[in-house]
Every structure is written in C-alpha cells, then in structure tokens.
C-alpha cells in the first residue's frame, strides 16, 4: 500500500484538469482501503473516491485523500430460468463489463455501450443512454461504509434511482465506497431500439437480424460520431441533464419555438433536449481560450488543452443563464463539481 503526497490528477480525470491531491492512494482489496481509512491522519480528512474520473470537474486542488478504486473481477453468481446474475467489482471499466456480457450473451447492457467510467460509479449516477438506464437491470450492490468500515447491501428500491440520481448523490453522499454491483440480465434479449438513431444506424450497417452485439455496435458508432474521445480532447460527456418541464410549459414553449425537442414522460411531464436549447442560444462550437462547447454536440463542454476547471465552470454558468433567459428553463449540471 503506497500513499502519495501532492499528486497531479490530470491523467486521472477525463477533462484533463491539472489539479492535485494532498494525498493519493489506490486500493485493490477491501482490507487495503480499510487500512488506509483507519490511519489517524485520514479519519477526519476529506475523502474523494475516484473511479474512471469521467464525471468530475476539478475547480481547485483537493485538500484531502483521493482513493482510486482498483477492485477487479467479473463473475456469474447465479441464474434462474430467465436471467443471469452478473457481479462486477467497482473498479472494472464499465465498457469492458458491457463487452464481457455481450461476449457471453448476457442481454440488457448493450444500449449502455461505450459510456466512460467505472462500474462503481454507474449506480451513483444511474447512468443511462439510448433508452436504457442502470436501474432497468440493476439487482443489488455492496458498499463499504467509510466511517464504520462495514459492508452494506442495497437493492434496487433502496438505491432510490432517479434521472441521473441515486441515494448516493443525496442523503448518503460521500458515506460509501461501492465495491461491487450485481446486474440481473436476460437469457432471452429484449431488444431496445426505441431511440430512432439506433434504428437508423442499424439500417446503415445493413443489419437484417437483431442481436445484442449489433445494437452495441450501433450505439458505439453513434457515440463515436457525436461525442469527442476524452483521450483526444478533454471532456466529461454530457455536462448537463435534460430538463423536465410540465406539459403546459412545454406547450407554451412550442407555440413560441415550433422546433423545440421534447420527449413525453410517464408522469405526464416532458423532457427537453438540453443540447437543442444550448444550441439555440448560440453556444455550439464556441471557444474561449482552451474552454469551449463541442462543435458537434452542444451538451459537451471541452478542454482543448490547458483550461482550468474554473474556466469551464464559468462557461457552464453563462450557458445556464442564457438558456434561462431565452426559454425560462433551468439547466442542471450532470457533472460533479469538486
């Protein structure tokens, strides 16, 4: 176990922000992280659990200890007539878990292909894309309580999943380290091509017979065409959530902005496309020094090289203000500000 001091986090966050941690340590076992947490100098210090660093914006150095989750392992733990139950350690790369499931014909995660980050962070955000969310296939997770160092189990209901939300972003924020997640996957695939872009991409690919691999391939192709690769340009994917408005608000907006994009929700409200709102305010492709808005997807803020977190945060604040002024709609950041 090595604890490092004053370590740069630039290569450990997908925005590529050059912030540093007062202390930094990786852990590959639960005993290892418990040992670190028990050290007297860390008992009352700030703690940040780091996975893939794909949903963070560092606006300053972190005056505490950053703990990198390196727990590994994927296994089939049980099955029933219709399902496979697959458990993954929290430090596994999310897309590698998806590829493992596709290779073994475990269906249910294919629409979530190529989402950056690690498995442990996936239920925290209730990650989702192309008509699917973690909550759809989530079975349970195990998490280490940071204070008492005991393992707790959480089922689907106990996680209190919402749109890019869970209990771990609310009342239990910063209290647990997610050590493993178990998914309830299908033996007989339920193909989800409800997102029009998937069906169109499958046509382009010439797919005649659907499979979970073909859907994954289509999703990967769409994501690569729209979203910048963090290895090439710093970003955290979608920076903002798609805002939800009541139907009467949507109808009023549609009267004034006939091309506004909205999706009906089960609760009767309408989800607006944040990217469309931002684009209508003129932000798409704008650049201010090394901070900017991606030229192909207005939802994505980017670091062209040497932007700092405060510059990207300031840009997001200006975008929020302009959308509020033009549409009277409140944008909320999806990315966690540190």
Write the CATH number for 19: 3.30.43.10
Over residues 77-96, mean pLDDT: 96
Higher pLDDT, 54 or 153: 153
- Asked if residue 152 belongs to a domain, the reply is yes
Alpha helices in the chain (DSSP H): 30-38, 40-43, 94-103, 122-125, 156-159, 196-205, 212-226, 247-256, 274-280, 309-327
Catalytic residue among 142, 201, 311, 334: 334
Can you give the CATH number for the domain in which 120 is found? 3.30.465.10
Number of domain units in the chain: 3
Q: What is the pLDDT of residue 54?
A: 85
Whether 57 and 83 map to the same domain: the answer is: no
Q: Which domain holds residue 311?
A: 234-337
Q: CA torsion 67→71→77→82, rounded to 10°?
A: 70
pLDDT in tens, 242-300: 999 999 999 999 999 999 988 888 888 999 999 999 999 999 999 999 999 999 899 99
Whether 174 and 238 map to the same domain: the answer is: no
Catalytic residue among 164, 223, 311, 316: 164
Respond yes or no: is residue 238 known to be catalytic.
Answer: yes
How many CB atoms are closer than 10 A to CB 125?
Answer: 23
Respond yes or no: is residue 164 known to be catalytic.
Answer: yes
Catalytic residue among 122, 166, 216, 238: 238
Q: How far apart are CA 236 and CA 319, in angstroms?
A: 16
Q: How far is residue 160 CA from its own chain's centroid? A: 16
- Asked if residue 203 belongs to a domain, the reply is no
Whether 107 and 62 map to the same domain: the answer is: no
pTM over 0.85: yes
Over residues 328-335, mean pLDDT: 93
Respond yes or no: is residue 75 known to be catalytic.
Answer: no
pLDDT in tens, 300-318: 999 998 999 999 999 999 9
- Asked if residue 211 belongs to a domain, the reply is no
């Amino acid at each position: 176990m090595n604890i490092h001091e004053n370590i740069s986090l630039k290569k450990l966050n997908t925005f590529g922000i050059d912030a540093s941690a007062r202390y930094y340590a990786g852990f590959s076992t639960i005993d290892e992280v418990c040992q670190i947490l028990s050290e007297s100098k860390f008992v009352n210090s700030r703690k940040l659990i780091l996975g893939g660093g794909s949903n963070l914006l560092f606006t300053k150095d972190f005056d505490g200890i950053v703990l990198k989750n390196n727990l590994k392992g994927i296994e089939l733990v049980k099955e029933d007539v219709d399902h496979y139950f697959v458990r993954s350690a929290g430090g596994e790369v999310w897309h590698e878990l998806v590829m493992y499931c596709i290779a073994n014909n475990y269906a249910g995660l294919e629409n979530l292909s190529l989402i950056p980050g690690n498995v442990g962070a996936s239920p925290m955000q209730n990650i989702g894309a192309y008509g699917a969310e973690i909550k759809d296939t989530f079975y349970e997770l195990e998490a280490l309580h940071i204070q008492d160092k005991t393992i707790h189990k959480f089922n689907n209901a106990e996680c209190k999943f919402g749109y890019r939300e869970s209990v771990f972003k609310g009342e239990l924020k910063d209290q647990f380290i997610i050590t493993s997640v178990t998914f309830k996957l299908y033996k007989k695939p339920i193909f989800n091509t409800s997102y029009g872009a998937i069906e169109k991409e499958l046509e382009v690919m010439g797919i005649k017979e659907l499979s979970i691999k073909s859907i994954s391939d289509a999703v990967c192709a769409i994501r690569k065409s729209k979203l910048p690769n963090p290895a090439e340009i710093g970003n955290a994917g979608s920076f903002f959530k798609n805002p939800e408005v009541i139907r009467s608000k949507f109808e009023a907006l549609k009267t004034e902005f006939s091309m506004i994009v909205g999706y009906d929700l089960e609760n009767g409200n309408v989800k607006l496309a944040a990217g469309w709102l931002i684009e209508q305010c003129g932000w798409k492709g704008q650049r201010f020094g090394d901070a900017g808005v991606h030229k192909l997807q207005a939802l994505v803020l980017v670091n062209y090289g040497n932007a700092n977190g405060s510059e990207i945060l300031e840009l997001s604040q200006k975008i929020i203000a302009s959308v509020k002024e033009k549409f009277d709609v409140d944008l909320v950041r999806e990315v966690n500000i540190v």
